[in-house]
């Protein structure tokens, strides 16, 4: 069996044509979705990059594997201690390790582990191609490695090739000579003058006045992005940059498919397209980053096409992204570890019948300390540390009526808030029983000073807020270390 897993960093599904987007960002991915299966409600259990990919490849939630952030103690997996054998858990039971043991040649073309010092993530790969640019590269730098590998080995049996593209990840840096395919097309219309005006009086890293971080950053290297979101024209430029990144990645996916076709094996390859997490584009006043445990940070696309996959499947059930690993294992007849948190939906690929979950619990520990519960039409958010953003301890959004999370329904729906809290508490009780260290690494993040990316930034950000006429927000944050009343 042959598997091509295309992993596109920061790709949100509602910016793909096959998920209903009005711009033609993804003709290649759209065709794959038409010929295979498309999953509409897949969420990263842990966000952003390092927690997400660690959960997927370990088969276990961050609360169990230990990685819920990008730095500090929670940036490393739990130490196994006396129970560790000659090889650790990642070497024995990670997704690539299981595939390799089953006779697959496992290959990754990715700088991800180098970018995050996530060396555990390489466990189980026979071959690693790291071109040393730490996630700053474009698809034109990544794909040639994969094309050469396909040319040399594509006709062989039993391989798993992971290709990691970064083009939709902020800052948007598709080469200038590629142009702007969306110059004449309108941006999404949910962001109004009124909402933007509110955002500009608000605060938070990557908010409208400081979309590149904490304010005052130089963006000369990135001509596709404005210095700040000061108008709807700026927002359009920002969106054009993001969508151009998607289109650029999509065209390079086409090159991979053409190479497989040239080798005569395209119809024999299980092709998977997904992402580690999404990308906020103004929702909750976060522009171009992935800072929450909400829909736009955690929801990812999932498209699967290949031999045996029923054509035209659209699955709207709730799934974790880490359900993908046991699905591929079952598809190949590989035994799934009993303590993996992922659940296979391989039967859906064959029959089209959905096999999802009743609810999902989502985690963010790098830019905020927050957990979300996705159930029915609702998203419930519980915040423990805001990461210098304007967040309330509990928030609630009705995603069908308000898909861009503009109205907090918590004040008028205490019944649904109660249900969200109950689901979260039940999940915490159940997962802690199986946690390696019987501890929640989210509390380690809090004890170590809060989210890694905002730790130690209050003083400089407070100065910026005062310089830009928002001194009241600086005073509030200085009086409330976690950002919460």
231-270 tens-digit pLDDT: 999 999 999 999 999 999 999 999 999 999 999 999 999 9
Through-space distance between the first and last CA atoms of the chain, rounded to whole angstroms: 55
High-pLDDT (> 90) share of the chain, %: 98
pTM of the model: 0.98
Instruction: Give the pLDDT of residue 436.
Output: 60
Domain harbouring 211, CATH code: 3.40.720.10
Distance, in Å, from the CA atom of 38 to the CA atom of 40, rounded to the nearest integer, reads 6
pLDDT digits (tens, 9 = 90+) for 338-356: 999 999 999 999 999 999 9
Asked if residue 362 is part of any domain, the answer here is: no
What are the tens digits of pLDDT across the range 432-470? 877 666 789 999 999 999 999 999 999 999 999 999 999
Q: What integer is the mean pLDDT of 292-309?
A: 98
Residue 133's domain comprises 2-357
Strand 359-364 and strand 369-375: the pairing is antiparallel
Q: Is residue 384 part of a domain?
A: no
Does the residue 279 lie in any domain? yes
Q: Is residue 43 part of a domain?
A: yes
Number of domains forming the structure of the chain: 1
Residue 181 lies in a domain: yes
Is residue 445 situated within a structural domain? no
pLDDT computed for residue 432 by the predictor: 85
308-332 mean pLDDT: 98
- Residue 77 and residue 51: Cα distance in Å, rounded? 10
- Domain assignment present for residue 436? The answer is no
Is residue 478's pLDDT more than 90?
A: yes
Instruction: Write the pLDDT tens digit of every residue in 378-416.
Output: 999 999 999 999 999 999 999 999 999 999 999 999 999
Q: Is residue 12 part of a domain?
A: yes
């Amino acid at each position: 069996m042959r598997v091509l897993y295309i992993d596109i960093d920061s790709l949100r599904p509602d910016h793909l044509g096959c998920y209903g987007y009005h711009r033609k960002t993804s003709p290649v991915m759209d065709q794959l979705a038409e010929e295979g299966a498309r999953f509409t409600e897949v969420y990263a259990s842990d966000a952003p990059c390092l927690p997400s990919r660690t959960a997927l490849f370990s088969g276990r939630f961050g609360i169990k594997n230990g990685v819920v952030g990008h730095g500090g103690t929670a940036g490393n997996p739990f130490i196994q201690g006396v129970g560790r054998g000659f090889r650790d858990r990642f070497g024995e039971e990670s997704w690539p390790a299981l595939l390799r043991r089953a006779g697959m040649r496992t290959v990754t073309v990715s700088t991800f582990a180098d970018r995050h010092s996530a060396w555990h993530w390489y466990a189980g790969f026979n071959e690693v191609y790291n071109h040393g640019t730490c996630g700053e590269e474009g698809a034109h730098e990544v794909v040639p490695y994969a094309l050469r590998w396909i040319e040399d080995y594509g006709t062989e049996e039993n391989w798993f090739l992971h290709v990691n593209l970064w083009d939709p990840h902020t800052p948007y840096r598709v080469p200038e000579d590629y142009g702007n395919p969306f110059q004449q097309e309108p941006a999404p219309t949910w962001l109004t003058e009124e909402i933007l005006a509110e955002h500009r009086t608000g605060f938070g890293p990557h908010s409208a006045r400081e979309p590149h971080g904490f304010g005052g950053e130089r963006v000369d290297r990135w001509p596709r992005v404005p210095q700040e979101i000061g108008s709807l024209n700026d927002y359009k430029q920002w969106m054009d940059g993001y969508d151009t990144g998607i289109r650029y990645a999509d065209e390079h996916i086409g090159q991979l498919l053409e190479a497989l076709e040239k080798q005569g094996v395209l119809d024999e390859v299980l092709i998977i397209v997904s992402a580690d997490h999404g990308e906020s584009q103004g929702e909750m006043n976060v522009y171009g980053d992935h800072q929450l445990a909400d829909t736009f940070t955690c929801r990812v696309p999932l498209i699967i096409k290949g031999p045996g996959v029923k054509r035209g499947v659209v699955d709207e059930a709730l799934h974790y992204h880490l359900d993908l690993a046991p699905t591929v294992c079952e598809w190949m007849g590989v035994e799934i570890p009993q303590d993996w948190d992922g659940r296979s939906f391989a039967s859906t690929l064959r029959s089209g019948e959905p096999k999802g979950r009743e609810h999902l619990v989502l985690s963010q520990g790098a830019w905020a300390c927050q957990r979300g519960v996705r159930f029915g039409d609702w998203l419930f958010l519980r915040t423990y540390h805001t990461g210098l953003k304007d967040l309330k301890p509990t928030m609630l959004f009705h995603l069908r009526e308000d898909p861009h999370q503009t109205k907090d329904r918590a004040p008028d729906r205490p019944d649904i808030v109660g249900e969200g809290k109950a689901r979260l508490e039940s999940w915490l009780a159940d997962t802690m029983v199986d946690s390696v260290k019987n501890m929640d690494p989210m509390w380690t993040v809090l004890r170590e000073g809060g989210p890694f990316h905002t730790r130690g930034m209050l003083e400089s950000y407070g100065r910026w807020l005062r310089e830009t006429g928002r001194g009241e927000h600086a005073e509030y944050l200085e009086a409330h270390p976690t950002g919460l009343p």
